[in-house]
Amino acid sequence: MLKLGQKVIIIGDSFEQNLPVGSHGYIIAYDRNADNAFDYVVRVPGANKHVYVPSIDIELEDTLIALEADRVEKEALIDFALATHNEQLFRWVMNGDVEEEAPLPQQSQALSGEEFVRQINLKAWI
C-alpha cells in the first residue's frame, strides 16, 4: 500500500474516467470502502482536481524513473556492442546471464521405460 503524500504518476485509465494519463499527482487519501473499486484519492495539480483511482492505474515516480534508466542503459550497451563489433557483449545484453545449453544428442534407439525414468530423475535431481 502506498503512503500518503507519495508522488505517483497516472499510467492508465482502466475505468475510462478521463484521467490525465502521464500526469503526476500525490496520494491524499485511501478509499477504505470495501464496496468500491477505487483504492486511492489522488490530487492532480496539473488538472487542478482530485480523482479516485484503482491501484493498477498509478505507479510510484521512483519506480518509473528506475525502469527508464534501465532501458536507456540497455540501449546504450547495445549501441556500444554494435559499434565495437563485440558479439559477446551484445549476446549478454540481449539474453541476460543465461548461458546457452548444448543441444542434447539424439538417440537412434528407443529407450526402455526404466532407462527413460532414470534419465528424467537424473535431470530433475540436477
CB 54 within 8 A of CB 33: no
CA dist 49 and 26 (Å) reads 11
What does residue 80 show for φ and ψ, rounded to 5 degrees?
-65, -45
pTM, full prediction: 0.64
Beta strands in 11-81 (DSSP E): 24-30, 40-44, 49-53, 58-60
Neighbours of 27 (CB within 10 A): 21
Give the model confidence (pLDDT) of 11-48 as tens digits.
Answer: 999 999 999 999 999 999 998 888 889 999 999 999 99
**pLDDT tens readout for residues 43-101:** 999 999 999 999 999 999 999 999 999 999 999 999 999 999 888 988 999 887 655 55
Distance CA 84, CA 90 (A): 10
